[in-house]
Structure 1
Amino acid sequence: MTTTRPEATATAIPGASGLARAFSGSMFTKTLYDNRRIFTVWALATGLLAAMYGSFYPQISADSMASVPQAMEGFGLNDASSAAGYLQGAVFGLLVPLLATFYGAATGARMISADEESGYLDLLLAHPIGRTRLLLHRLAALTVGAVAIAAVVLAAMLAIRSSAELHSISPANFAAQALNLALLATMFGALATGLGAATGHSRPTVFGITAGLGVAAYALHGFAPQIGADWLRKLTPYHYYIGGQPLNNGLQIVDAAVLTGAVIIVTAAGAWRLNRRDLGR
């Protein structure tokens, strides 16, 4: 008598139907598919705003920058003598990093907290996917969204480079700043994801804590020079995002490594805690 060995069959990730089933081979691809509209809107909105403010450079004069309050000089809004100086303040120092921060906080709060709050996380983990693997797949998808934002911003800057008289900044230096932007967004996304995984707090709570920390760090980075405490800037991720002036100096390996290390640390902490706590409590 011979026995037939049953072949292993793949279990579809719950919630996948129609076209989504084609993307449900892994949690990574399903997360990308489920958040495709969110990632697209963030990328296009950030790119368009960066291009709009970047295109103002030819209209900026020394007199107009002289009217900027002294308290704002720590945000880079004190130098319009060069294209890099202007962009480092008005675009990559003021507007874009805040958008990256809120992208990370909002998207990261969706990755674990929203599923646990709705009860969907228990259903997911009833399938053959470990807690650490789930977190890493979700964070990988969030990182793709951050890279998409950086790529669109880079494309926007290169598109207006001639018309906005930004020739003094090389494409390589624009790419270095875009890389730091992706790392900044990923860092806050990892912080929100790890916080939700570690604590089980609701999505609004995780978003509020992460965004609040981001805004506080942003304010500290900007106002520290006004109180004669420049060293405090090194305690914020924004220092490693723009302190090395990538638009002037190109890629700063140490700064990029610090941001990458921060992503790894908060992700590891979140995964460690997620594997040791009772879900839904």
Structure 2
Amino acid sequence: MMSSVFMKSLWDQRKSLIWWGLGCAVLIIVTILFYPSVSDTPELNELLGDETSIARVFVGDISDMTSPEGYLNSQLYYLMIPLLFLVFAISRGSGAIAGEEESGTLDLLLSNPQPRSKIVLHKFAALAVALTMFGIVLWLSAVVGSVFVDMDISFVKLGEVTLSAAFLGATFGALALMLSCATGKRNLSIGVASAMGVATYFLNALLPLVDALEPLTRLSPFYYYIDADPLTNGLSILHALVLACLSGSMLIVALITFDRRDLAV
């Protein structure tokens, strides 16, 4: 039965995963197809080179937007890709337990003699696999787009920055799962996790504008996703471990709260 919880969770996501993959693939490829026109517009560097420009909040600290790394970071990997991962992960993490509870199907899972913790673990495993599959689609889309425009970019580095974004997504997916296990309310889990995502994004984007506050950016998961510039320098193992530890900590809390909570079944 427990193996079917994992497989059924993946099976239930198959259609949405396909549509998510197709839609995001088109979005990424189309975005990259605009690169040749941007690479011939050096004036953009003057705009983004202004430290007071509000645009830096949404495209990051880009020294050369006309370079492949600068363009991809500003248009995809600073905001769009992590946003896609967060929406994808939060929607699934929040529904993993609370969705089953609100729809009345959780009692079917609990009717078998197994610990509640195993259900949570299998739900999180399904989330992790779905994130991996989603990440592979996004990586392949970026590779295809870069080939179309003959972009001088490392396919390995594209994979590493996508992996870093997947770790970020897993962190917020684990947060949504934790809230789902603690409250049994899907909409509340989505709302709180989404609010935390927005708040920590702006924490990482705005605080560097004030030198005295810059160290506080380390409180944001987004710092550990993008600060090491994985598209240029490769994946930071230390930063990935921080995100993994955050996910693991919230998973532990999810296991404890779900095991102790009175369920609405």
CA distance in structure 2 between the partners assigned to 1:194 and 1:95 by the alignment:
25
The 8 Å contact of residues 45 and 66 in structure 2, kept in 1 or not, is answered as no
Letter paired with 1:179? L
Letter paired with 2:225? Y
1:64 is the counterpart of 2:48: no
In the alignment, which residue of structure 2 is the partner of 1:280? 264
Give 1:189's match in structure 2, choosing from 148, 163, 173: 173
In the alignment, which residue of structure 1 is the partner of 2:81? 96
Q: The residue matched to 2:149 in structure 1 has which SS?
A: coil
CA shift, 1:159, in A, is: 1.0
CA distance in structure 2 between the partners assigned to 1:239 and 1:42 by the alignment:
26
Q: The residue matched to 1:112 in structure 2 has which SS?
A: helix
Letter paired with 1:51? I
In the alignment, which residue of structure 1 is the partner of 2:204? 221
Over the residues paired in the alignment, what is the CA RMSD in angstroms? Answer: 1.9
Letter paired with 2:165? L
The 5 A counterparts of 1:28-177 are 28-60=6-38, 61-67=41-47, 70-74=53-57, 75-76=59-60, 78=62, 79-167=64-152, 169-177=153-161
Gap regions ≥5 residues in structure 2:
none
The 8 Å contact of residues 180 and 241 in structure 1, kept in 2 or not, is answered as yes
CA distance in structure 1 between the partners assigned to 2:26 and 2:243 by the alignment:
25
CA distance in structure 1 between the partners assigned to 2:74 and 2:89 by the alignment:
21
CA shift, 1:45, in A, is: 2.2
Larger relative helix fraction = 2
Q: The residue matched to 2:112 in structure 1 has which SS?
A: coil
The 8 Å contact of residues 76 and 85 in structure 1, kept in 2 or not, is answered as no
CA distance in structure 2 between the partners assigned to 1:160 and 1:133 by the alignment:
41
**Larger mean Cα displacement after TM superposition, 251-260 or 57-66:** 57-66
Counting matched residue pairs gives 257
CA distances 1:29-50 after superposition (whole Å, capped 9, x unpaired): 0111111112222222223222
Q: Give the TM-score of the pair, scaled to structure 1.
A: 0.85
CA shift, 1:65, in A, is: 4.5
Gap regions ≥5 residues in structure 1:
1-10, 14-24
The 8 Å contact of residues 179 and 254 in structure 2, kept in 1 or not, is answered as yes
Letter paired with 2:264? G
1:259 is the counterpart of 2:243: yes
The 8 Å contact of residues 28 and 145 in structure 2, kept in 1 or not, is answered as no
CA distance in structure 1 between the partners assigned to 2:16 and 2:81 by the alignment:
17
Distance 1:45 1:230, change over 3 A: farther
CA distance in structure 2 between the partners assigned to 1:226 and 1:146 by the alignment:
32
The 8 Å contact of residues 46 and 149 in structure 1, kept in 2 or not, is answered as no
Larger radius of gyration between Structure 1 and Structure 2: 1
The 8 Å contact of residues 71 and 223 in structure 1, kept in 2 or not, is answered as no
CA distance in structure 2 between the partners assigned to 1:143 and 1:241 by the alignment:
17
Give 1:270's match in structure 2, choosing from 238, 254, 261: 254
Give 1:237's match in structure 2, choosing from 207, 214, 221: 221
CA shift, 1:77, in A, is: 6.1
The 8 Å contact of residues 72 and 223 in structure 1, kept in 2 or not, is answered as no
CA distance in structure 1 between the partners assigned to 2:26 and 2:240 by the alignment:
25
Q: Give the TM-score of the pair, scaled to structure 2.
A: 0.90
